[in-house]
Homo-oligomer: A and B are copies of this chain.
Amino acid sequence: MSVFLPLDPFSTEAIGPRVYRAIREAIVCLRLTPGQIVSEAEVARQFGASRQPVHDAFVRLELSGLLHVLPQRGTRVARISPKDVRDAQVIRRAVEAATVERACALRRPESLAALALNLERQAIAAAEPEPHAFLKLDEEFHRLLAECADLPMAWAIIEDAKSHMDRVRFLSLPQTTPLAALIRQHKAIVAGIAAGDWAAAREALSEHFCELDKSLPALEAKYPDLFERDDARALGR
């Protein structure tokens, strides 16, 4: 049993992007452990593909900061770096605020309808014991926000920042913030956009980012091996 979701053998999509998404998903969902060593050849073997598409994926994941490639030595899944998580949050807060601001200015009816539909689905998914469906919808929600602002570049950045924050969220899944609060904030954001009320939307968004920081120190104490130490960059440990 592999840590990667198997590739659909009937898909006509190129292998490269599918391998990339599969590896990324495994990292963000912590099925690839922070700090774990991975090798291009070994991962290629697991996918039944050649090293080339895996190499391309590694290049992209290194750019996102999810992998650390040490030339001629090896590659490891980036440990969770509290600084990186906080920095990603700063970036995301700035970019997503600008996104919401523009969404307020545009108020695209189709995108707002898509957001409303997504909100309904969130309410349903929140009732399930399995959090996976909700997390997927949460991702979709923020993608739709960027679409609503007609800012695809913003989504690329938010997606990257989010990946670092999501690993922490996955780590704290049992004692996570009640989903009801998140949904309430989501609804307030959409309401703000629909009303063209930037201040309200911005306020709701900024609440959305407050939770994470509090849980970080406890998690770091509980799972020290998954966290980056400020010193020591050796391959060992």
| Residue A151 is within 8 A (CB to CB) of chain B in the complex | yes
* Across-interface contacts of A56 in B (CB, < 8 A): 56, 59
Quick check: is A71 within 8 A (CB to CB) of the other chain?
A: yes
Interface residues on A, range: 20 to 34
- Distance, CA A109 to CA B65, complexed state (A): 28
Which of these binds chain B: A24-32, A84-92, A204-212? A84-92
Q: What 0/1 readout, one digit per residue, does chain A (43-60) give for beta carbons within 8 Å of chain B?
A: 000000000000010011
Contact of A95 among B59, B84, B91 (CB under 8 A): B91
In the assembly, how many copies of this chain are there?
2
Chain B residue at smallest Cβ distance from A161: B153
Indicate if A102 sits at the interface (CB-CB under 8 A). yes
Q: Which A residues from 68 to 114 make CB contacts under 8 A with B?
A: 71, 84, 87-88, 90-91, 93-95, 97-98, 102
Chain B residues whose CB sits within 8 angstroms of the CB of A90 once the complex forms: 98, 102, 151, 154
15 further A-B pairs in the complex, CB-CB below 8 A; given A91-B151, A94-B94? A14-B71, A56-B56, A56-B59, A60-B63, A65-B153, A84-B153, A90-B151, A90-B154, A91-B95, A91-B98, A91-B157, A93-B98, A94-B95, A94-B97, A95-B157
